[in-house]
Amino acid sequence: MSEPIGPILVINGPNLDMLGTRQPEIYGSDTLEDVEALCRRTAEEQGVAVDFRQSDSEAEIMGWIKKARGTACGILINPAGFTSTSIAILDALLIFDGPIIEVHISPLFRRDEFRHLSYVSKAATAKIEGFGIAGYAFAITRLAELARRPA
Protein backbone atom coordinates (compact mmCIF):
# COMPACT_ATOMS: atom_id res chain seq x y z
CA MET A 1 0.00 0.00 0.00
CA SER A 2 1.38 3.43 -0.89
CA GLU A 3 1.31 6.33 1.59
CA PRO A 4 -1.76 8.59 1.34
CA ILE A 5 -0.84 11.92 -0.27
CA GLY A 6 -1.79 15.34 1.11
CA PRO A 7 -4.27 17.65 -0.60
CA ILE A 8 -3.56 20.05 -3.43
CA LEU A 9 -3.76 23.57 -2.02
CA VAL A 10 -5.63 25.83 -4.47
CA ILE A 11 -5.08 29.52 -3.79
CA ASN A 12 -7.06 32.26 -5.48
CA GLY A 13 -5.83 35.82 -5.06
CA PRO A 14 -7.63 39.17 -4.87
CA ASN A 15 -10.93 39.85 -6.63
CA LEU A 16 -11.33 36.27 -7.87
CA ASP A 17 -14.34 36.00 -5.55
CA MET A 18 -16.05 38.27 -8.11
CA LEU A 19 -15.64 35.89 -11.06
CA GLY A 20 -18.80 35.73 -13.11
CA THR A 21 -19.59 39.39 -12.37
CA ARG A 22 -16.18 40.92 -12.88
CA GLN A 23 -15.28 41.82 -16.52
CA PRO A 24 -16.95 38.70 -18.00
CA GLU A 25 -15.58 39.62 -21.43
CA ILE A 26 -12.11 38.85 -20.00
CA TYR A 27 -12.72 36.29 -17.24
CA GLY A 28 -15.87 34.58 -18.52
CA SER A 29 -19.19 33.94 -16.83
CA ASP A 30 -18.20 31.11 -14.47
CA THR A 31 -18.16 31.95 -10.77
CA LEU A 32 -15.53 31.01 -8.19
CA GLU A 33 -17.99 28.33 -6.97
CA ASP A 34 -17.90 26.87 -10.49
CA VAL A 35 -14.09 26.89 -10.38
CA GLU A 36 -14.17 25.13 -7.01
CA ALA A 37 -16.59 22.48 -8.32
CA LEU A 38 -14.33 21.88 -11.35
CA CYS A 39 -11.26 21.53 -9.10
CA ARG A 40 -13.06 19.10 -6.77
CA ARG A 41 -14.39 17.01 -9.66
CA THR A 42 -10.96 16.83 -11.31
CA ALA A 43 -9.16 16.06 -8.06
CA GLU A 44 -11.65 13.29 -7.25
CA GLU A 45 -11.01 11.69 -10.66
CA GLN A 46 -7.30 11.83 -9.84
CA GLY A 47 -7.75 10.38 -6.34
CA VAL A 48 -6.50 13.46 -4.49
CA ALA A 49 -8.15 15.96 -2.16
CA VAL A 50 -8.36 19.70 -2.69
CA ASP A 51 -8.09 22.52 -0.18
CA PHE A 52 -9.71 25.45 -2.05
CA ARG A 53 -9.26 29.04 -0.85
CA GLN A 54 -9.56 32.70 -1.88
CA SER A 55 -8.24 35.81 -0.20
CA ASP A 56 -7.70 39.49 -0.89
CA SER A 57 -4.98 39.51 1.79
CA GLU A 58 -1.35 39.01 0.86
CA ALA A 59 -0.48 38.09 4.46
CA GLU A 60 -3.21 35.45 4.64
CA ILE A 61 -2.03 33.88 1.38
CA MET A 62 1.58 33.80 2.64
CA GLY A 63 0.39 32.08 5.84
CA TRP A 64 -1.41 29.37 3.86
CA ILE A 65 1.65 28.76 1.67
CA LYS A 66 3.97 28.41 4.67
CA LYS A 67 1.62 25.95 6.39
CA ALA A 68 1.47 23.87 3.20
CA ARG A 69 5.09 22.76 3.55
CA GLY A 70 5.11 19.09 4.53
CA THR A 71 1.32 18.79 4.32
CA ALA A 72 0.10 19.64 0.79
CA CYS A 73 1.27 17.55 -2.19
CA GLY A 74 1.27 20.58 -4.48
CA ILE A 75 0.06 24.15 -4.87
CA LEU A 76 -2.09 25.63 -7.62
CA ILE A 77 -1.98 29.41 -7.35
CA ASN A 78 -3.75 32.13 -9.29
CA PRO A 79 -2.04 35.13 -7.67
CA ALA A 80 -4.30 37.53 -9.61
CA GLY A 81 -3.39 41.15 -8.76
CA PHE A 82 -0.40 40.03 -6.64
CA THR A 83 1.30 38.38 -9.63
CA SER A 84 3.35 41.40 -10.67
CA THR A 85 3.84 42.98 -7.23
CA SER A 86 4.49 40.39 -4.56
CA ILE A 87 8.06 39.38 -3.84
CA ALA A 88 6.71 38.27 -0.44
CA ILE A 89 4.43 35.63 -2.02
CA LEU A 90 7.34 34.51 -4.22
CA ASP A 91 9.54 34.12 -1.12
CA ALA A 92 6.83 32.08 0.66
CA LEU A 93 6.44 29.83 -2.41
CA LEU A 94 10.21 29.25 -2.47
CA ILE A 95 9.86 27.67 1.01
CA PHE A 96 7.36 25.08 -0.30
CA ASP A 97 8.79 21.61 -0.91
CA GLY A 98 6.53 20.37 -3.74
CA PRO A 99 5.37 21.31 -7.25
CA ILE A 100 3.67 24.66 -7.87
CA ILE A 101 1.54 25.53 -10.88
CA GLU A 102 0.69 29.16 -11.63
CA VAL A 103 -2.68 29.61 -13.34
CA HIS A 104 -4.22 32.66 -14.98
CA ILE A 105 -7.66 32.54 -16.56
CA SER A 106 -6.92 35.22 -19.15
CA PRO A 107 -4.06 35.39 -21.71
CA LEU A 108 -1.72 37.80 -19.93
CA PHE A 109 0.69 37.83 -22.90
CA ARG A 110 -1.74 39.97 -24.87
CA ARG A 111 -2.99 42.14 -22.02
CA ASP A 112 -1.44 45.24 -20.39
CA GLU A 113 2.35 45.32 -20.30
CA PHE A 114 2.35 45.59 -16.48
CA ARG A 115 0.63 42.17 -16.25
CA HIS A 116 3.45 40.43 -18.15
CA LEU A 117 5.86 40.39 -15.20
CA SER A 118 5.25 37.55 -12.75
CA TYR A 119 7.38 37.22 -9.63
CA VAL A 120 5.48 34.01 -8.84
CA SER A 121 6.79 32.35 -12.02
CA LYS A 122 10.26 32.24 -10.46
CA ALA A 123 8.95 29.59 -8.03
CA ALA A 124 6.61 27.80 -10.44
CA THR A 125 7.10 24.31 -11.85
CA ALA A 126 4.72 25.22 -14.69
CA LYS A 127 2.38 27.99 -15.78
CA ILE A 128 -0.98 27.92 -17.57
CA GLU A 129 -2.69 31.02 -18.92
CA GLY A 130 -5.43 31.88 -21.37
CA PHE A 131 -7.39 28.62 -21.16
CA GLY A 132 -10.20 30.11 -19.06
CA ILE A 133 -11.12 28.11 -15.97
CA ALA A 134 -10.12 24.87 -17.76
CA GLY A 135 -6.56 25.83 -16.78
CA TYR A 136 -7.41 24.89 -13.20
CA ALA A 137 -8.39 21.36 -14.27
CA PHE A 138 -5.18 20.94 -16.31
CA ALA A 139 -3.12 22.10 -13.32
CA ILE A 140 -4.88 19.76 -10.86
CA THR A 141 -4.35 16.81 -13.21
CA ARG A 142 -0.64 17.60 -13.59
CA LEU A 143 -0.12 18.19 -9.84
CA ALA A 144 -1.79 14.87 -9.02
CA GLU A 145 0.44 13.13 -11.59
CA LEU A 146 3.54 14.77 -10.08
CA ALA A 147 2.46 13.80 -6.57
CA ARG A 148 2.18 10.15 -7.63
CA ARG A 149 5.36 10.17 -9.71
CA PRO A 150 7.66 13.17 -9.14
CA ALA A 151 9.36 14.43 -12.35
Q: Could you give the residue numbers annotated as active site?
A: 27, 104
Burial label, 86 (beta-carbon count in 10 A; 0-12, 13-18, 19+) = buried
Question: Which residue, 1, 12, 38, 7, is CA-closest to 143?
Answer: 7
DSSP 103: E
List the one residue from 42, 46, 55, 78 that touches ligand DHK (CB under 6 A): 78
Stretch that binds ligand DHK, among 54-62, 67-75, 80-88, 92-100 (CB under 6 A): 80-88
Give residues with Cβ within 8 angstroms of 145, minimum separation 6: 46
List the one residue from 39, 90, 101, 105 that touches ligand DHK (CB under 6 A): 105
Per-residue contact flags (x/-) with ligand DHK for residues 11 to 50, judged by CB under 6 A: ----x-----------------------------------
**Between residues 42 and 83, which has the closer beta carbon with respect to ligand DHK?**
83
Contact between 104 and ligand DHK by CB under 6 A: the answer reads: yes
End-to-end CA distance of the chain: 21
**Between residues 69 and 122, which has the closer beta carbon with respect to ligand DHK?**
122
**Between residues 47 and 107, which has the closer beta carbon with respect to ligand DHK?**
107
What CA–CA distance (Å, rounded) separates 47 from 8?
Answer: 11
What CA–CA distance (Å, rounded) separates 65 from 77?
Answer: 10
Stretch that binds ligand DHK, among 50-58, 105-113, 118-126, 137-145 (CB under 6 A): 105-113
What is the total residue count of the chain? 151
Interface residue list for ligand DHK (CB under 6 A):
15, 78, 80-81, 83, 104-106, 108, 115
